[in-house]
Amino acid sequence: MIRVKNLSKSYPGVQNSPPIQILKKINFEVKSNTIVSIVGQSGSGKSTLLNILGLLDSFDDGDVIVDNKSLKSLRKSEHPMYRNQYIGFVFQFHHLMPELTVLENIAIPLLIKGVNKYKAIKKANEVARFVFNEEELTKKKILQQKPSLISGGQRQRSAIARALINDPKIILADEPTGSLDEEWGHEVFNKLLELRKKTTVILVTHNPVLANKTDEIFGLTHGKLEKWPKFQEIREIIDNHSLKYKQENVTCPRCNGVLQLSYIGEESDPSRVEIDICEHCHGVWLDHGELEMITKNYLNFLNNMYLSEANNVVKRISNDLYSKNDHP
């Protein structure tokens, strides 16, 4: 269990200007053996938060508690040992050492820890089987290759194995698929999903599709962190509202006239919109088809706005549809 309590972080301003506050009294919890994602715009403080959790950066106020142990209570001299024993890092760029083989790169954290080379290499071989298939290990002999001779996805999977070598309590992954194409990105992400069996994963990503596959989504905006709804939750909200509309608004919401079903767009058009036109006042009203169109395109819909505002958007759609004072 990871608990973050009232965590704040600021950086000094430039030329006597006030400090720039990056994180503002953040509170959240992550259960053991889960994977959660942190999303937000560039510069919102996602990487700063991850670095604080990994003791790569300091914080001003608050605390981080891992399995009832306060990280604030650790002396600075204890930070490197804590990172080596309890935390695994996966960055956007693999940061493998080019002069070493893949196997040697995976073994590095154990060697730093003081484990003899024979045991470190043996453990590296075992961990490698989690991220590489049998063909890669036997036919392609990937573990004997230098990083420059393998693909981007294989390099990133090597980095995941390196992060796992010490059996860490926490994996911190900062945009681990950001430098990969879609195919390799999904393969690397699927490996991260599997890590729930072994450890706890906190993932920073810009990709809403990947974030939606994690157990929970947290959004970081303007220094504040809050839990954001997943796409399925938003779809359920829209479906519930559309059902309510179908049941309650069988007549024109403005004049109680008879509603005539009509459409905007050709029948073969995937964005075709179903509408109601009042035969009395000729008001045009959105119907279930419009909500379905929004639902089918909700990935783009959410990409263009903060997920934290999605519920407010749904409420505004709802109010526009059901308010008796609305005008078409």
Same domain, 11 and 25: yes
| Residue 328 within a domain | no
Which of 228, 255, 279 terminates a domain? The answer is: 228
Instruction: Provide the token pair at 137.
Output: 């290990």
| 154 part of a folded domain | yes
Q: How far apart are CA 282 and CA 259, in angstroms?
A: 9
User: Is there a single domain that holds both residue 192 and residue 266?
Assistant: no
Domain with 290, as residue range(s), is 231-322
What pLDDT sits at residue 186? 73
Q: Which residues of the chain have pLDDT under 50?
A: 301, 305-306, 308, 324-328
Same domain? For 258 and 128 the reply is no
Same domain, 37 and 92: yes
Residue 117 sits in the same domain as residue 181? yes
Of 199, 186, 201, 96, nearest to 148 by C-alpha is 96
User: Which pLDDT value is given to residue 74?
Assistant: 83
In a domain, 327, yes or no: no
Domain membership flag for residue 219: yes
The residue from 228, 258, 282 where one domain ends is: 228
Kindly state whether residue 239 falls inside one of the protein's structural domains. Answer: yes
Residues 202 and 286 in one domain: no
- Is residue 131 a contact partner of residue 191, using CB atoms and an 8 Å limit? yes
Q: How many domains does the chain have?
A: 2
Same domain, 14 and 148: yes
Q: Which of 211, 228, 245 is the last residue of a domain?
A: 228
* The predicted structure's pLDDT at residue 109: 84
Residue 278 shares a structural domain with residue 154? no
Residues 20 and 126 in one domain: yes
DSSP letter at 60 equals S
Q: Answer yes or no: do 174 and 248 share one domain.
A: no
Do residue 98 and residue 141 come from a single domain? yes
pLDDT of residue 157: 84
- Helix, strand, or coil here: 220? strand
DSSP-derived secondary structure letter, 143? G
